[in-house]
Structure 1
Amino acid sequence: MNQVFSVVEEAARRTPVRYDCDVIVLGAGSAGAAAALAAARQGARVLLIERHGFVGGIMSACSLGTICGLYGIDANDEPYSLVGGIPAEVVERLHALGGAAAPKRWVGAVTVPYDLFLLKVAFDELLREAGVRVALHAQFVAVSSAHGRVEAVFIEDKSGRWAARAPMIIDATGDADVVHAAGGAFEYDLSTLQLPTTTFRLGGVSEAVARSVGRDQLKEMLEVANERGAGLPRTCGGVYFQTPGTPHLNLTRITRNGNPPNPLDTFELSDAEFEGRRQVLAYHKAFREFVPGYTDAFVVDSGIHIGVRESRRVIGDYQLTLSDVQDGRRFEDPIALCSWPVEVHESGTQTRWDWLPPGVFYQLPWRCLLPRGLANVIVAGRCLSATHDAHGSVRVTATCMAMGQAAGTAAALAAAGQLSDIRALDYQILRESLVAQGCLLDADPARTAATSCCE
């Protein structure tokens, strides 16, 4: 961050409280939306704050192209369900809207391609049906806190600055903004952060021809492009079709002088946005010249902002580790399951993929959502408590939504019980509620086989 050499004094102010409720959720990405839904369905009065004009976060703003983490692969090389509850319901709603393709087998995983616009509609419908009060175009800026409790959050929008109060707060900002503002514990090592990506879509593609190009073939073609001066930073990545003839591409890789750009620095992030769009043009040119099916391709759009994979990670009551992931560890307080590989986007043209053995999955403990030093704040999404390597596995969409459902359910139960500290909530009560909502806290591949056939 740039050093500040001088200051400007601000006058003291009195901020109006525009909303009192039971649960406030900051950030309406996949985790935040699921948290708000779960809390409202438990009878809580919920306020959901989001800086964009839509819900879905990275899924909607950048388009991930496909929903990851819903399935595992068993010892017989067959998919089985790892996530139920709200994530599965979102997929069902997408199917009903015509916004999700059949599950797609991809190397050692199964993913679900989705339509960017219809995902926004699906979340709109679900949140309205649940009675969540949503404040879009509203930016979280600060907290009022004392003795480890957040008493109020401060919001700024076109009308000015206002406050909201609730006994339970969920930080689903992705960057742990609430935890940071309230003085909670977190880690942030700029030197090890995963590199961000500008995602984009192409139109005018001959889909049948393009789909015939396998992952390894595409890598070879892009490496040939580089040999001829294309200057592509990454030659192995994802190309997903949901809308006919309009693939989503996850390929760019943004660095700053060979290092990760600082996602918490406005100026470095702005430079990264420029670089991302420059890379989109370079990939567009390379695909037209070197990849079959893309001769007449054109750029439809890119994400509305760069896709940040990692920033602050809270230090919670438990920190998920790489050995927990690789060993398929079980815990006494599980709230979600995951078998996604350790996917780390580092410097170089390749991506690190450490695949779990077939049939192996791990449980995510509830304690990973409880930041040290704060009594009434729960986190959900990619800012959870996990080491850098473990984070490369657990940060995927379906798992983030499962975290959100657990966080929202717990917050509603704690508010209803008038608990001053979220840690006073009996985990068994939380577990029973999650199971009743269809969440999977353990799995038997033989009993949870995926019913949909993969492409």
Structure 2
Amino acid sequence: MLAFAVCWQIPGTAAIKDSYDADVIIYGGTSAAVTAAVQVARQGKTVLVVSPDKHLGGLSSGGLGFTDTGNKSVIGGLARDFYHRVYMEYDKPEAWKWQKKEEYGNKGQGTPAMDGKERTMWIFEPHVAEKVFEDFVKENNIKVYRNEWLNRAKGVVKKNGRIVSIKTLSGKVFSGKMFIDATYEGDLMAAAGVKYHVGREANSVYGELWNGIQPEVFQHGHHFKKNISPYKKEGDPKSGLLPYVSAEKIGKKGEGDNKIQAYCFRMCLSANPDNRIPFPKPEGYDAAKYELLARVYKAGWTETFDKYDPIPNKKTDTNNHGPFSTDFIGQNYDYPDATYERRKQIIKEHELYQKGLMYFLSNDPAVPADVQTEMRKWGLPKDEFKDNGGWPHQIYVREARRMIGQHVMTEGETLGKQAITKSVGMGSYSLDAHNAQRYVKADGYVQNEGDIGVHPKTPYSISYESLTPKKAECQNLLVPVCLSSSHIAYGSIRMEPVFMILGQSAASAAVQAIDAKTAVQDIDYEKLKTQLLKDKQKLVFE
């Protein structure tokens, strides 16, 4: 499928930059963007991917190799094909460069890493995932415009309730019949004038239990289990607060706020001396920033390496763990609506914080000797993220904007208390929210808040109408990543396999809307369902 590029010049003026046209324009470079593009191409329509990212796959190729699988039986379509292709990559002897296949083990998250019967592999290295996404693109002749950033101020042209074109900061104009916002931030959605929410709704808004502020609720253990003073001089409020502790008084249980769960980088680490870059001392390093962690160690904490989850070739997918970890709590509140410049600053702050943390763990005398000794064995892998010094190219945007669309997915539906009639895919992971704030309790000790992990009894369906804006706001846009969901329901939906599923389903809906010459809100769901089932998507739990 080829799209057309046109370059024109008005007499007496400089040349206007290229304009590009396709049936479907996809904005984003995430795993959802790739599956959406593949689906459009396979259904005979033209498609262009306009990606602010240089690397395709988002978190799936950005360090999150220890897949949040949930119940793998409800992962179908192109998502399952992705994990099958990963399996096929690791079926090649040359894939096992640093480790014998039989030495790897088979640890996965809720499922074995390698499923020989289903020929799927759920745990993988970043470069393998990126290769699979690039293979998808090449096989389907999909044109991807990389490092193209939407002009959020005046780059979206709408007419009669429909997006006509989008313009990037480089001056390129992309026109289409249908548009899909597959970014983690929802920038196209927002620029198109679609209503959205940032932060946690009060429980009263959607009749939920786990959405709003959750003081003294600890469901993953990422909290201070012993009394730790948050003050520079222990026990002395007059000395001031340590870094990264909020002076804001915590709200009441169940109230809403503008806070979002913490971000981090999912570091890929290696303890292989032949494939390891030692942790350097980052610019602006200050050990005082990690004093709170020093006090946690002093209190007897011993769980440093509990989330060094193994991926092939003696590497890890290292996630946050404990009361003070790679999650940079409270430092991302303005990210969703921030300018590109401010976002880059926030991302850099997260990078320096996390690199500083690793240097602190490896070198500071306040860290137990056994932890230091073990940490010095670890480093960034030489053979991952080669153009970024081994550091992931994608920050873990666990949550940003969330559309307020035709239907809002809520806790009740994810927990099976309410039914969905227009399913376009399924989720099954726990309602997983990371800490949103670190505050001082009334007794003068520090605590984290926002860490929720509630497990659905069975997988649940996701509504088509959660991918579509209200018709009055936009008629030709689908949003499979920043979809319409409450904060706590999004905590379950926001998993990479689900994003791939919803990206593919959104693409099928876009194609049907083009064929029917109708708004995305008005397509025939039964026809869409037929296509989804043909593509082996899972719509209901059996």
TM-score interval for Structure 1 and Structure 2 normalised by the shorter chain:
0.7 to 0.9
Contact 1:263–1:308 at 8 Å: present in 2 too?
no
Partner of 2:310: 241
Is 2:505 the partner of 1:432? Answer: no
Partner of 2:478: 378
State the Cα distance separating 1:329 from its structure 2 match. Answer: 4.1
Choose which of 112, 116, 122 in structure 1 pairs with 2:132: 122
State the Cα distance separating 1:40 from its structure 2 match. Answer: 0.9
Contact 1:102–1:113 at 8 Å: present in 2 too?
no
1:343–1:41 distance in 2 versus 1, CA, 3 Å? same
Partner of 1:198: 265
Partner of 1:277: 352
Is 2:243 the partner of 1:176? Answer: no
1:259–1:235 distance in 2 versus 1, CA, 3 Å? farther
TM-score (norm 1): 0.79
State the Cα distance separating 1:103 from its structure 2 match. Answer: 6.6
Partner of 2:430: 341
TM-score (norm 2): 0.67
Structure 1 residues 47-62: aligned runs within 5 Å:
47-60=48-61, 62=62
For the residues of structure 1 that align with 2:305 and 2:405, how far apart are their CA atoms? 34
Q: Identity over the aligned pairs, expressed in percent?
A: 23
**RCO higher in 1 or 2 (8 Å CA, sep ≥ 6)?**
1
1:180–1:260 distance in 2 versus 1, CA, 3 Å? closer
Is 2:133 the partner of 1:66? Answer: no
Choose which of 471, 484, 506 in structure 2 pairs with 1:407: 506
1:354–1:56 distance in 2 versus 1, CA, 3 Å? same
Amino acid in the other structure paired with 2:404: I
Structure 1 residues 15-34: aligned runs within 5 Å:
16=17, 18-34=19-35
State the Cα distance separating 1:14 from its structure 2 match. Answer: 9.1
Contact 2:28–2:51 at 8 Å: present in 1 too?
yes
State the Cα distance separating 1:384 from its structure 2 match. Answer: 0.4
Structure 1 residues 3-402: aligned runs within 5 Å:
16=17, 18-60=19-61, 62-69=62-69, 71-72=70-71, 81-98=73-90, 104-106=107-109, 112-141=122-151, 142-157=155-170, 161-189=171-199, 191-204=258-271, 226-228=295-297, 238-251=307-320, 252-256=326-330, 260-265=333-338, 266-267=341-342, 269-283=344-358, 285-286=360-361, 289-291=369-371, 294-300=375-381, 301-327=390-416, 329-346=418-435, 347-348=437-438, 352-358=451-457, 360-372=458-470, 373-381=473-481, 383-402=482-501
Amino acid in the other structure paired with 1:56: G
Partner of 1:9: none
Contact 1:144–1:150 at 8 Å: present in 2 too?
yes
1:271–1:237 distance in 2 versus 1, CA, 3 Å? farther
Structure 2 residues not aligned, in runs of 5+: 1-12, 97-103, 114-121, 200-256, 274-291, 321-325, 364-368, 382-389, 439-447
Matched positions, count: 399
Contact 1:205–1:293 at 8 Å: present in 2 too?
no
For the residues of structure 1 that align with 2:410 and 2:263, how far apart are their CA atoms? 22
Q: Select the structure that is richer in strand.
A: 1
Contact 1:109–1:340 at 8 Å: present in 2 too?
no
State the Cα distance separating 1:125 from its structure 2 match. Answer: 1.1
Contact 1:284–1:298 at 8 Å: present in 2 too?
no
Deviations 1:87-121 (A, max 9, x none): 01011111212279887443x67772211112111
State the Cα distance separating 1:149 from its structure 2 match. Answer: 0.6
State the Cα distance separating 1:33 from its structure 2 match. Answer: 0.8
Structure 1 residues not aligned, in runs of 5+: 1-11, 73-79, 207-222, 445-455
SS at match of 1:59: helix
State the Cα distance separating 1:361 from its structure 2 match. Answer: 1.3
The higher radius of gyration belongs to 2
For the residues of structure 2 that align with 1:171 and 1:40, how far apart are their CA atoms? 17
